[in-house]
Structure 1
Amino acid sequence: MDAQALKERIIADEKIGLILEELGMKHIKEKDDYFSCCMPDGNRKNSTVIYKNSLHVDAYTRNILDRYGNSDIISLVTFINGTYFTESIKWICDICGYDYYKNDNIQSGALAWINNMWKIYKEGSQEEDDEFVEPIDERILHYFGRYGNPMFYNDGISYETQWEFELGFDLKYHMITIPIRDEIGTLVGIKGRLYKEILSENESKYFYIQPCAKNSILYGLDKTKKYIKEANEVIVCESEKGVQQLWTMGYKNAVAIGGHKLSKTQVQKLTHLNVPVVIAYDEGAEIGKDEKVDKSFYRNEFNKFLEKQTVYCIYDKTKKILNKKESPSDDPEKWELLYNKYKIKVRG
């Protein structure tokens, strides 16, 4: 459930009081247009005000603003519980009895019309739409098993890492299987890698065995979130394999976008981590048949972030370290050189 849909549902179902109680807020009092209360560890009875019609929060004794400048009931939960943005949404859904994966929002006729027009606009544009994530049955993993493979091992992914990330094998299609989980650990897709080094013209190296809303996922975040916080930095790779390679090297603070370009949802999720971002894309990757990414400075990717967001990129300015389409994480020695010498600050 996205943040706006959740807030509309909270307002319609009058769940503000319940959420405040479960948060441990003190001296909760309901007025005509707002609730007043006190922080769980505070003494001032009216230090926090939550407005019923918008869920905006005035917290007079604490700074609960998120990275986008929002001060609402979600950022209040994030502040008090010390949770990640989407973990806060999941917590609220659990408290209120809502399905986190169902965007069953309540909205006025005017708002419904606006949202519908926006959807039509996006369908007619060239941008890929950010889809809603849907969980899939965990039992499917029993079919693929949990196996290490020498192909990934030779690519710098230890067998321990392969086990950690639940790699398996599809005997029917002869593919390595990579389970895709969202940031709260729910299985939402399965990606396959054809188990052969040399492919024919009509063969694809990767494809989704179980479809996944990849534009809404930061692969690995369920495992790497705590390490991102410890390192105060998130490394962004293109492929799932990059996260696994870096994990093997000891860099456990990485995520992957599953493609060549950041989506709006992925940018939001990275921003809500509230740490510097390091873009570590492959060298000379292509998008489609005609469009190429400017890998020299990743300008379009940088501009997707807020101006105040600190962003770095791994940039081989010598043009001699990485081969074409090589990932910075493919070779541990190259990675150490690039990360320590060619990590360039570009924003913030």
Structure 2
Amino acid sequence: MTSPVELIKSRLDIVKVAQSLGIEAATYKKNICCPLHDDSTPSFRFYEGADGGSFVCFSHCDLSRKHGNDMFALVMAINGVDFKGALAYLASLSGVELSRKKKSPADEALGLAQYFFRKNLPESGVEEYLASRGFCAAVIEKFGIGYAPPGSRLARYGHQQIEGLLEVGLVREMDGHGVSDLLRRRLTIPIHDRHGGLAGFAGRLFGDPSHGDRKYMNSPESRLFKKGDLLYNMHRCRRGQTLIVTEGYLDVMALDQVGFHNSVCTMGTALTESHISSLVEFSDDLVFMFDGDKAGKRAAWAAATHLICHTDKPISFRFALLDSVDPHEYLSTHSPADMEALLDAAPPLSDFITREIEALSDCHGDRPEDLMRLLSRFEDFINRAPSGIFRDILADRVASITKAHARRIPLLELSSRDQAFIAAIEELASSFGYDSSVLSTDKSRITFKCDGAGQISES
């Protein structure tokens, strides 16, 4: 019996796999720069073979030695996944169904639904619509776009798996009137978890809307589909590289089409702490690319309130706000080089926060009462940051921008029962010209507070 690995290798070609991973130069014809290490001289080559082909790095870099040299090794090295993750990725790419010891009704229902939506795509007009918006057939195929037809055709098609369809919410019971499809007349976008498992769908309205129809509709919350945890396209992204965070599915697809393969978005919700935790674990260079309109700015500020809690980590948080367009619209009138320049110039979190504070300060004028209220609001925001240099410098910036130099912003607290330690701190303060009498101590705590002019004051 042919194993899934053998079947995958018989269906796929390693160069095609490499191209799906973003290695645009992949070819059998010549050496290319190794995608697995910093390679200035082309030292990497693909070779054809009956088992799907292989690769060789003549520099013998660590990653190529670690994983081997077939298409599974390539996926493991590029995507930073284990063999199971590579198997899931290649099975999805090749259409090979992976057998499981115990496949749940929910998993079977999701697979059936994806097959049904894809089956209905050719006659729907969705491909022509996406082509008119600049998407090529390869991207439509790669992202598994489908179509949910009108009526309750999924419920009828999947009647033998109706319990699973009900569990994942793709069909609903109608108060004694049978069952009805959740997604109707919608372009469908499959959503995967970070390991490549199908978790649910997003449906974008296609055709004339009925009264009250929402533009986007997601699978309902379930054991597999949790909007607060899932990030669209995360399973295709490479670990350790710059990761772009956008607001929409089509933004991710548009970026991927022009070579920016490391991008994700949420399920139409604001970023959660769970999302941020996944992002900072995945990459140390995150670029948040939001629309430049009011909604985009609100989303960016909401993200900043989560990100500031992680400023003690060696991670770059950057913001690239577009001018009243989304990344998909931007790329319709700009080149990939323009996008690259925009990403390179994206300011860090501290500059984004400073700019927002400056804009709000300008709107509030110079009245002390308004400035104090504004500063109080930002004090709460800044105190979300862990103690350290980032919070110290940001506090100084806020005090300077709001012209409230006398306002005391807490910067550092030390707790100790060691009176010798407290005495040493007092002596250190004195060595910098501060009068030790301004330091407030008790049996267990010594607290420093510093205003915008750099003066230590009483706790």
* Separation (CA, whole Å) in 1 of partners of 2:148 and 2:262: 29
1:156 corresponds to 2:134: yes
1:189 partner SS: strand
* Separation (CA, whole Å) in 2 of partners of 1:84 and 1:334: 28
8 Å contact kept, 1:84–1:272: no
Q: Which structure's residues are more often helix, by fraction?
A: 2
Residue of structure 1 equivalent to 2:214? 204
Residue of structure 2 equivalent to 1:257? 266
* Separation (CA, whole Å) in 1 of partners of 2:212 and 2:229: 28
> Which amino acid letter does the alignment assign opposite residue 132 of structure 2?
N
Residue of structure 2 equivalent to 1:328? 327
> Which amino acid letter does the alignment assign opposite residue 346 of structure 1?
L
Residue of structure 2 equivalent to 1:219? 232
1:170 corresponds to 2:169: no
Q: Which has the higher contact order (CA 8 A, sep 6+)?
A: 1
Change (3 A) 1:84 1:165: closer
In the superposition, the TM-score normalised over structure 1's length comes to 0.52
How far did 1:237 drift? 1.1
1:305 corresponds to 2:278: no
* Separation (CA, whole Å) in 2 of partners of 1:273 and 1:296: 22
* Separation (CA, whole Å) in 2 of partners of 1:176 and 1:223: 21
* Separation (CA, whole Å) in 2 of partners of 1:249 and 1:183: 23
Residue of structure 2 equivalent to 1:187? 198
Residue of structure 2 equivalent to 1:140? 113
8 Å contact kept, 2:304–2:349: no
Give the structure with higher Rg (CA).
2
8 Å contact kept, 1:180–1:191: yes
* Separation (CA, whole Å) in 2 of partners of 1:84 and 1:262: 23
Residue of structure 2 equivalent to 1:346? 349
1:104-127 deviation line (CA, Å, top 9, x unaligned): xxxxxxxxxxxxxxxxxxxxxxxx
Residue of structure 2 equivalent to 1:123? none
1:240-292 deviation line (CA, Å, top 9, x unaligned): 211111111111111111235211211111111133101012232539xxxx7
Residue among 277, 285, 301 paired with 1:268: 277
* Separation (CA, whole Å) in 2 of partners of 1:163 and 1:185: 16
* Separation (CA, whole Å) in 1 of partners of 2:118 and 2:298: 37
2:115 partner SS: helix
8 Å contact kept, 1:243–1:254: yes
Change (3 A) 1:150 1:280: same
> Which amino acid letter does the alignment assign opposite residue 281 of structure 2?
H
> Which amino acid letter does the alignment assign opposite residue 224 of structure 1?
C
Listed as ranges, the gaps of 5+ residues in structure 2 are 1-75, 86-100, 151-183, 351-389, 391-459
* Separation (CA, whole Å) in 2 of partners of 1:294 and 1:177: 25
